[in-house]
Structure 1
């Protein structure tokens, strides 16, 4: 605060600190009192569109990329998830939904195919293990 504004404050209050209680009471009286004019009170309602939450499936895609990356579907899903997040940050919700839908389909495909590969591998190992004694004779 510079000297000019400080001098103005001191001159306006007579060198005394302002009386905050008095100001508060005056405000309450004017707040609770009747309207001063005969004008009617008008209200305005503004409907704000709610933010549409678009899931981008980044975590699911990252999981599929790291653990169940069948034919690189998890990595491709991760790329689409990042594109979806970028579109969402820009404000293009339609583009974000399109990329998110593609990422979701790729994640489902990667998950199903990876689980099928695990099941097929387990069944193959069990069949080979059970038939191994027969093959040696």
Structure 2
């Protein structure tokens, strides 16, 4: 700026400070909700008892989609359903494996007992 334009404006009356109002806006950060996609994929591939793992995977993907849109309530609901389905798939698959092992052991022991009888 040229020197002739650098004049300071002097207030003519006394300067009265006014109170400034402030506005605080809380911006939500990254939403960190577990969507259980990895767990659901594992159950889909290895512990898919009555397709519970696949259904849990579908709910996990829905939860991730809701989280990306910003619908926290919907994401929590889908994640909760996916978690329950994953727990059910794991428990029922483990119980089924235990039952199969017990039945196999009983059948094998009876076959061995019958072969010794002859």
Q: TM-score, normalised by structure 1?
A: 0.65
**Structure 1 unmatched ranges of 5 or more:** 1-11, 13-36
- Residue number among 87, 95, 116 corresponding to 2:74 in the alignment: 95
Q: 1:119 aligns with which of 90, 98, 101?
A: 98
Segments of structure 2 that go 5 or more residues without pairing to the other structure are: 2-14
Q: Distance in 2 between matches of 1:131 and 1:49?
A: 69
Corresponding residue for residue 69 of structure 1: 48
How far apart are residue 133 of structure 1 and its match? Answer: 2.2
Is the deviation greater in 110-119 or in 123-132?
123-132
Provide the alpha-carbon RMSD of the alignment.
2.2
**Which of structures 1 and 2 has the larger relative contact order (alpha carbons within 8 angstroms, sep 6+)?**
2
Q: How far 1:131 moved relative to its partner?
A: 1.6
Match of 2:4 in 1: none
Query: Larger Rg: 1 or 2?
Result: 1
